[in-house]
Each structure stands twice: as structure tokens, then as C-alpha cells.
Structure 1
Amino acid sequence: MSAEKAGAAMSDGLATSTTLSGPPAVARLPWWIALPAAGLGGWLFDLANPGAAIWPLVFPALLLILASWWQQRIGVAALAGLAAGAAFWFSHLSWLTLYLGPVPWLALGSVMTAWFVLQGMVTAVATRGIARMGARRRLPGAAIAAAQAVAASGIWVLREGVQGSWPYDGFAWGRVAHVFAESPLGALVSWLGFAGLSAAAVLAMACIVAAAAATRAGLRAALRGGAAAALVVAVAGVGLAFVPPAELDRTGELRVAAVQGNSKSGIFDNREAGDVYADHVLATERLLDELEASGDGVDVIVWPENSAEFAITDNPLRGREVALLSQRADAPIIVGSILANDDGTYTNSSVVWGPDGQAESAAGTRYDKRFPVPFAEYMPNRDFFHALAPELVDLVQLEYAHGQFAPVHGVPALGREVVAGVAICFDIIFDDQAKRMVDEGAEVIFAPTNNADFGRTDESVQQLQIARLRAIETGRAVVNISTVGTSRIIAPDGTNVDALEPFTSGAMVATVPLVSGTTPAVAAGALGSTLWMLAGAAGIVVGAVGLRLRR
């Protein structure tokens, strides 16, 4: 191989490098194309999510981001990760600025963007190193491309997994799978799980990029190779769009009412103590008036997160009032309340209330939120962060503890104990919560939440998107009820059964199926996620070794 070829910086728009053992093994975008491509990809990724919710844009988004990292120099890949991450996260999380200003938004957006920077760097190492190692061993180009595509998709899942669990329990937001909630491909989540659906989408786009990069005969040949791979991916995608959700056995039906009080329940809302509770009592009374007038009834009533405000279990007057409502409805009421612990901490809790007060059941009638939100419901490393932003840290006055109860309620209904899974607010975004609910025998899922702090921003619809996917993934109906919206009752196939307009007072009433059993996604989702992450880690290791080989 001549020195002139080895030193060439560009060929038909693709930068190349060479190895001693064969033809050019690395093709990559020049930096002046890679960086704007990454930024455009990040922006399209946000548009694929709510509010715009143009889900097909996720495919060109992934294509552009992956292409900007593919076989790239580490420094350029880091800058491309910065461009993609900033374009996506600072748009996607703009709802944080509504009441809290730019500091929390900048802080969280920067942390999430840093994950993209790291992902870009290791993707570049993996794809470039695998290409070099494959060329030295004279492997077929298709084998090299396949190894690169699997590694890149595994790295994406690895980043989503680590980001969703660390630090401070992580923030499992902005995953690729989320965009498919209302798409024809959403049913796949019941077979693949969240991680598997993310991996499948990324793998499809990675195959296209790998096919284009594996072509060493110039830009036109690269485009032809990428187009051929894109055609195969498109045909496969059309076929997968007809895959139905996994079916589970139905054990009965439950008549559910969910009350949205339209309360002033945000951090800075001007209200008196008891106003949020009173709003939900009033909305429930109107609901019962309508049910009685029509001769209808329900088996259970669900209130949102924090709807009973503080210490419902220690407030005889409020407890008695809710008990009378339960007696009138002839149905238990699931109320949200903040409960104090003996050690000075608090829990964000959900309690089953019946005609005689807090109900009793084998499955349990109290659940404490397992994933309280750091910097909102508790302050980790308070002294350290107080030195940086004392006014913001002082807003977090209560320390919420991580709940220890199983995430289910035993609900007296239908002449037996119906087991309902419970996910309070951001609990719904964590895969482990879904598995725990199903493992504990949940037949339906209640998802009480309070989105008042985010007003009319995209946060509530982004969270609803995740709740819709949870319904499909677990094969169970989800009652997503908020103090102000967005509130929906979602069928196991992800369709809306009933809905309320945001920022209105009212109630949803619907009959939902009760189910038993486990979908393939819940049964094997954790294993599949682990295997994908291991594939990503292996790709990084192989790539690093490949880069250390002498040219």
C-alpha cells in the first residue's frame, strides 16, 4: 500500500485510513459533515417524541447520529456526541425551566449530554477497531459490518441502561423505544421489552451505516450499499408492523373510575392546605352523582398522587370523609398521600381506603414510591449541592425515603381481592418496577401522578407515552391519572379507553380487563437487556484491542 494512499484524507467525501494487511478498512465522515449531521440527528430525535411526536423521524435521527460516530476519530466522535446530545436533551427536557428556571435544566441536560459524548467515543472505538481487526484477519466485509452493527446497538442499550440506573437511581427518559408508543411497531415491546425495542431500531439503522461504510469503491458505491441495506430494513419493518401484542389470559373485568381534580398542586401554586384534597372530594362527589343518576357503578376509584395531601392515615376527619365516599360508591378509593416516618423522613404513598378506613388485604394496601426523584423529592449530598445553589436546594425541604413495600395493592372488588400494580409518577419509567408489579401478581396497573409542576409542557405527554408502552409491555390495562393531566385509561394493546382534557376537573370511567400471566418481554426482558449490554461492552473491548494493533 503506497504512502500516498495511506496519507489520503478524503476520498469521494469519505475520510479513510489503511492497514498493512489489506485495502482501506476505515471509512468515516469528515468532521465538517459529522458534527452538523449529529446535531440534526439529535433535533430529529426530539421531534420524534412528544410534543411533535412524528415517530418515523427516529430512523433518520438514528442514522445521522450513528453515521457521525462510525469509525470516527475519538475527538470528532466526542464533539458529535456533544452536538447530538445537546440538540436532543436540551429540547426534550425544556419543561424543567417552567418554574425552576435554567439551572436544573442545564444541570440535567448536561449530565445526559455527557452520556451521549461517552457513547459517541466508545462507538467510534468499537466500530473503528472492529474494522481494523477484521481487515487484519481478512474477514468478509459482511461479517465486519454485522459485528460493528451489533456492537453499536449494544452500546446504545448499554448507555440507556446505565443512564437509567446511575447515579441516584438514574433517569430512564428519552429511550429510543419510547417513540414507538403510538406507532404500528409499538406491539413489539410486548415481545422485546424496552431495551429490546431500542436495540432493534438502532440495529436496523446501524446495519445501513455499516453497509455504506464497508464499501471501499467511493461515495456512489457506498450510497448503493446503504440503499440496498435500507431496502432490506424497510421490508423487515413493514413485516414487523403486523406483529400483534402478546396475548395473556383474562380473569375478568374491573369497572374503574379515575378522578382528576384539576388542583393547584405545583410547588409554587398559591393554595391553602387542604385545597388539593377538597378538589378531589368535590370531583368524586360529582362523579357519584352522575353514576347514581344513570344507575351505573364502579368497582374502584383511583385518585392521583398526593391527592389526599399530608398524613391521610393520621387525619380522622379526612379519613372519615373518604370512608363515607367509599361507602356511597360501594367501592374502595385509592388515595395518594405524603406519610411521615419515625426517622424524620417521608414517603410518597398510595393507600387503599374503604368504608371502614384503610383496608386490609393479603397483597397489602399501602405502597410507598420506590423511586423518589432526586433533587425534587429528596436532596442527595445536600451539603455539597447547597454550596453550589443554596436557594434551589432549600426548596427541597422534605426527605422522601425509597419505598420498601411491594408495588401492588389488594383491592376488595368483584367478591375477591383484585391485585393492582402501583407505579407512582416516575416509577412508571423504570423497567424493574414493571417486572416487580407483574411478579407480585398485578392484574391491572394504577399509575397515579402529579404533573402540575410542568404546566402545559411536553412532560406529561412524554410520561404518558411511557405509560402506554408499559401497558403493551406488561399486557395489562394502565390507569394513568394525574391531578391536572394528562390522564388516560389505556387498554393492554395501548389504545385509549377513556381520557380527560388536561386542566379540567372530571373523572374517567371504563371497564378494563384483568389478566394473569407474563408477556415474553417481562419474562425475558432483563436477560435480553443484559445480553445487549454485554454485546456493547464486548464491542468496546474488541475495538480497543483492534486499535492497538500495529498498522
Structure 2
Amino acid sequence: MIDGSTRPQPARLPWWLALPASAAGGLLFDLANPGAALWPLVFPAVALILASWWQQRAGVAALAGLVAGATFWLTHLQWLTLYLGPVPWLGLGVVMTAWFVLQGLATGAATRAISRLWLRRRTASGAQRTVRLGLVVVQAVAAAGIWVLREGIQGSWPYGGFPWGRVAHVFADSPFGALVSWVGFAGLSGVMAFAVALCVGACFGARRGALLVGGVVVALGVLALVPPAALEQTGSLRVAAVQGNSKSGIFDDRESGDVYADHVRGTEELLDELEATGDRVDVILWPENSAEFGLTDNPLRGREVALLSRRADAPIIVGSVLANEDGTYTNSSVVWGPEGQAESDAGTRYDKRFPVPFAEYMPNRSFFRALAPDLVDLVQLEYEAGEFAPVHGFDALGREVVAGVAICFDIIFDDQAEQMVGNGAEVIFAPTNNADFGRTDESVQQLQIARLRAIETGRALVNISTVGTSRIIGPDGQDIDGLEPFTRGAMTATVPLVAGETPALAYGALVSAMWMAAGLAGIGIAVYVRVRRM
């Protein structure tokens, strides 16, 4: 399976094995995620992808990256084709695949260069075992670092990035999910990629490779027992969230006001049930865009929501598109009370910080319109990135409670979590609108990220959608309540309020930087060996 020669040189898969391995790895990586959600498949998936790159020549490594990236991303992102057709799907898929190509090149070059340096410096045969073990460890650190580096760059560039499809995401419903509260998303990706890379390296000639693989398995078994980091609980909040089951997609046949009316009816039904059982809630959450356009400038709707708030004796947090004076718009969330928009020290308006390019705004409009005018013209509004802190303050429990807010894809960005907790969030609200993706895997993929975000921050999280998938999630990542997709209803639960930072939030950026530095070091070694022609 592994070719080599009597002359000391790195072992690698031949191209005719590397390419099928990379394809199988990409497909298994998708199956490890929702909808199939067979998370243990992530281990053979990453192993096959890394094996196709390990100590590989540049051409084969790039081609294997292309195959792995295409098989994963074009499958994983298929939900983009539901309404918009193949062009956006192919466009995003090509960009994400390009990152895999670069990762393949970097991993192949780094592992190959590290191997050459070690092989040139080996001396007595009695030191061979130590040299081989050290070689595998250094290669594995570099390979895992490059993986985390690619995820980090992909998550920030171009156009703000798209941190989707990370290794860490797979573990939301696994025993390893708790680790994200200790090391963060990048840290969890790095640890798991490192564990797999050790096994891959062991298969490429390490002395006593079976023992190394066994040690990795034992270590993973121990890590699976690690509990989530616990924070101080400062109280509990009775929260309700309304799923209107609205026709709220771009191409849905509806009249203006239908989405708003669905959530009014859903709230009235919730209040009827609460009053019938003698129950009450401290706050009610509506999804993204649930009040449609201009709630703050619509006296009739504003009055109607205020009356619902008065009846509930609780604020209602509402999603609405708001216009700016310069003709741009914000995708916003506002706190509404019995007298209208509420006031608080923390703030009662939040504008989405990470609007989605090619959906909520069109970058380089003239350029892309020349390529696909019909699709570009669908993006008629230009949403601006928000500048308010991503928190809401509202009156409950005899004081001001502070909730972190992440609108839709905000939840996938690590910086959003840091900003929410840094501004005092005791609980997290994640309103979203998944109607454009129908019954595809998009909403459950987003939910798995939200679940990990709850564990990472140590806070309960309310993920409420116009159509689903809607869940109230505890700080341990477990569901507290939920709704069936494409039904109107409300979730109600008592969730803990907490204070403080988990180790992931306190040190996660440092852990991420360390992994990225390891990846850059591996690339640096590859450049050094190339320049010195070693």
C-alpha cells in the first residue's frame, strides 16, 4: 500500500490509492454530519483525507485536496440548490474546495519536509525507535495545525468567511462535545485532527505503530469522559419561543404581514395555554424576520406586540428588518415591552453583525451581475453589519437580565460568542429563519453548531426558527424542549442563568493561535527544505 525505496525517503500512497482515499474521506466526512449524523465516521474520514496527503508530492496532494473538498462540500452544501439552483452552490463549493486544495498542498509539503529532515539526521540504529516516534508526533502536530489554520482562514476570508463544516462541529451530539467548553471550537478540531494524524503517521512506518494507535484510542476514551466546564448559576429564567411555521422563504407565495400574523397567532395560542394552566414566562422570543419590515416605524404592529407583552407580563424579543437613513438595512432584533421598544443599560436593539454575502448583501455587485444577472438581482436589499453589542437587556426576576443574541449565521462565528459573553450574557438567544432551505439538512447542521456554542459558553441557548429546527438547549448541550419542524407552536422551559467564562472563552483564542502557529511552522519547514533543496 505504501511505496518507498532503499534510499531514505518519505513513504506515501501512490496516486491511484490517494485519490480514491480522498474521495471516500470527503463522503464519510459529510455522513458524519447531520442529516446522517454518524459522527464516529469522522475518524476514518479525516484519516483517509490525511493519508491521501501524507508526505505526498505536490501534484497528487493538490489533486487529492480537490477530490476531498469537492466530494465533501458539494454534498454538504447541497441545501443551497433548493431554491437558488446550482450556481450559488457551485460558487461556494468551489471556494471551499480551493481551501482544501491549499491544505492538501501544505500538509503534503510539511509532512514530507519534516520526514526528510528527520531521516537525514538519524544516526545509530538504536535510536531509530525514538526518531520514528518523534517524527510522527512532529508531523501530526503540523498536520493538525494546518487543518486548524485552514478552518480559521476559511472562517474569516473572503467576505467575512464561512466557518461551516469544521471537524469540531461533528462532535455536538457525541461524548467528546464537552471538550469544546475547555478548548473551544478550534481546539477541539485540533485535538481530534492530531489524534487521527498520529494514527496515520503510525501507518506510514512508525516503529511499534500499533502501540501508538492503541495509545491514541485509550487517550480518546479518557477524553470522552471529560464533563463540560461548569459555571456559577445566578438564577433561572422561564422562557418561551414561538415558531410561526410561516411561509418566510424568498420565493414563498405570501402577502405582506403573513409572517408577522403567524407569530401573533402563535403567541396568542401560547398565552391561552399559559393562562389555562396558571403558568407564566419571563420572556418570549420570536424568530429572525418574524415582524417583517420596519417594526419600529409601524405604530399598529408596535401597539399589537405591546399588548401581547402586557398580556404576558413579559417582554417579547422580535426580529425585524429596519431601514437606515442611507438606504441600507439591518437585520435586527429588538426588545418590546408593554409601552413599545424597551430601554435597558445593556441595550434593546441588536443588528446582525455577520450579514450573509450574496444573500443579505451583494459584494462587488457590478462584477457578479455581469456573470449571473438574474441571481444577483434577487438580492435587492443591502444589509449593513451591525455595530451594537450582541446582547439584550430586559426586565425579569426583579432585575435586568442580559441575553446574548446571535441572529441566524451569527451563531457560527467564534467572535460572536466572545462578544456575547464579554458583554455579560447570562443566556443566549439564537433567532433564525431557515425557510429558504426547506426540509434539507441546513437547519440541523446549524443546530449542531448552536448546540456546541451552548456547551462552549456554558450557557443555555434558545434556537428558534420560523419553521424549524427549533430547540431549547441546556449548557451541557442536551435538549430541554423542542418543536417539530413545519408546525406552529411554542417551546417553554426554565433555563439556568450563569456568570463567568468557561476555559474555552478564557483561553480558546490562545489555543487556536497555538495550533495555527504549529501549522505555520510546518509550512515554514517545508519552505526551508525547498529552498535548501534537501
TM-score by length of 2: 0.97
Structure 2 counterpart of 1:198? 189
C-alpha offsets along residues 485-541 of structure 1, whole Å, 9 cap, x if unaligned? 000000000000000000000000000000000000011111111111111011001
Shift of 1:230: 2.1
Structure-1 separation of matches of 2:227 and 2:466: 33
**Cα RMSD for the two superposed structures:** 1.0
C-alpha offsets along residues 5-55 of structure 1, whole Å, 9 cap, x if unaligned? xxxxxxxx322267xxxx523000000000000000000000000000000
Structure 1 counterpart of 2:458? 475
Aligned with 2:80 (options 58, 79, 96): 96
Shift of 1:550: 4.2
Matched, 1:150 2:133: no
Structure 2 counterpart of 1:369? 352
Structure 2 counterpart of 1:319? 302
SS at match of 1:14: coil
SS at match of 1:181: helix
Letter in 1 for 2:48: L
SS at match of 1:309: coil
Alignment of 1:378-393 (within 5 A): 378-393=361-376
Structure 2 counterpart of 1:118? 102
Structure-2 separation of matches of 1:67 and 1:411: 52
Q: Is the Cα contact below 8 Å between 2:395 and 2:401 reproduced in 1?
A: yes
Structure 1 counterpart of 2:467? 484
Structure-1 separation of matches of 2:497 and 2:291: 27
Aligned with 2:4 (options 16, 35, 38): 16
Q: Is the Cα contact below 8 Å between 1:48 and 1:54 reproduced in 2?
A: yes
Structure 2 counterpart of 1:260? 243
SS at match of 1:268: coil
Structure 2 counterpart of 1:44? 28
Letter in 2 for 1:199: G
Q: Is the Cα contact below 8 Å between 1:421 and 1:444 reproduced in 2?
A: yes
Letter in 2 for 1:16: G
Structure 2 counterpart of 1:79? 63
Structure-1 separation of matches of 2:446 and 2:87: 22
Structure-1 separation of matches of 2:236 and 2:297: 33
SS at match of 2:353: coil
Shift of 1:232: 1.1
Structure-2 separation of matches of 1:141 and 1:54: 34
Structure-2 separation of matches of 1:288 and 1:260: 14
Q: Is the Cα contact below 8 Å between 1:125 and 1:547 reproduced in 2?
A: no
Aligned with 2:112 (options 107, 128, 144): 128
Structure 2 counterpart of 1:415? 398
Letter in 2 for 1:398: L
Structure-2 separation of matches of 1:66 and 1:16: 18
C-alpha offsets along residues 225-254 of structure 1, whole Å, 9 cap, x if unaligned? 443322111111111111000000000000
Shift of 1:150: 0.3
Structure-1 separation of matches of 2:476 and 2:210: 33
Q: Is the Cα contact below 8 Å between 1:48 and 1:55 reproduced in 2?
A: yes
Shift of 1:547: 3.5
Shift in alpha-carbon separation, 1:133–1:415, aligned structure 2, 3 A? same
Structure-1 separation of matches of 2:376 and 2:45: 36
C-alpha offsets along residues 421-445 of structure 1, whole Å, 9 cap, x if unaligned? 0000000000000000000000000
Structure-2 separation of matches of 1:378 and 1:243: 42
Letter in 1 for 2:275: E
Structure-1 separation of matches of 2:95 and 2:211: 37
Structure 1 counterpart of 2:225? 242
SS at match of 2:287: coil
Letter in 2 for 1:127: T
SS at match of 2:497: strand
Structure 2 counterpart of 1:180? 171
SS at match of 1:507: strand
Shift of 1:411: 1.3
SS at match of 1:514: strand
SS at match of 1:25: coil
Q: Is the Cα contact below 8 Å between 1:276 and 1:308 reproduced in 2?
A: yes
Structure-2 separation of matches of 1:354 and 1:113: 47
Letter in 1 for 2:102: L
Structure-2 separation of matches of 1:510 and 1:370: 28
SS at match of 1:165: coil
Give unpaired runs (5+ residues) of structure 2.
124-130
Structure-2 separation of matches of 1:181 and 1:226: 30
Q: Is the Cα contact below 8 Å between 1:299 and 1:413 reproduced in 2?
A: yes
Q: Is the Cα contact below 8 Å between 1:128 and 1:547 reproduced in 2?
A: no
Alignment of 1:531-546 (within 5 A): 531-546=514-529
Letter in 1 for 2:78: S
Shift of 1:147: 1.0
Name whichever of 166-175 and 138-147 sits farther off: 138-147
Structure 1 counterpart of 2:343? 360
Structure-2 separation of matches of 1:383 and 1:76: 37
SS at match of 1:419: strand
Q: Is the Cα contact below 8 Å between 2:286 and 2:318 reproduced in 1?
A: yes
Matched, 1:251 2:242: no
Q: Is the Cα contact below 8 Å between 1:339 and 1:349 reproduced in 2?
A: yes
Q: Is the Cα contact below 8 Å between 1:345 and 1:399 reproduced in 2?
A: yes
C-alpha offsets along residues 457-481 of structure 1, whole Å, 9 cap, x if unaligned? 0000000000000000000000000
Structure-1 separation of matches of 2:292 and 2:82: 23
Structure-2 separation of matches of 1:439 and 1:25: 50
Q: Is the Cα contact below 8 Å between 2:202 and 2:213 reproduced in 1?
A: no
Structure 2 counterpart of 1:207? 198
Q: Is the Cα contact below 8 Å between 1:447 and 1:481 reproduced in 2?
A: yes
Structure 2 counterpart of 1:5? none
Structure-2 separation of matches of 1:295 and 1:145: 64
Shift of 1:543: 1.8
Letter in 1 for 2:134: A
Structure-2 separation of matches of 1:82 and 1:228: 33
Q: Is the Cα contact below 8 Å between 1:132 and 1:547 reproduced in 2?
A: no
SS at match of 2:425: coil
Q: Is the Cα contact below 8 Å between 1:425 and 1:449 reproduced in 2?
A: yes
Structure 1 counterpart of 2:259? 276
Name whichever of 422-431 and 144-153 sits farther off: 144-153
Structure 2 counterpart of 1:4? none
Structure 1 counterpart of 2:126? none
Shift in alpha-carbon separation, 1:550–1:400, aligned structure 2, 3 A? closer
Structure-2 separation of matches of 1:125 and 1:206: 15
Structure 2 counterpart of 1:58? 42
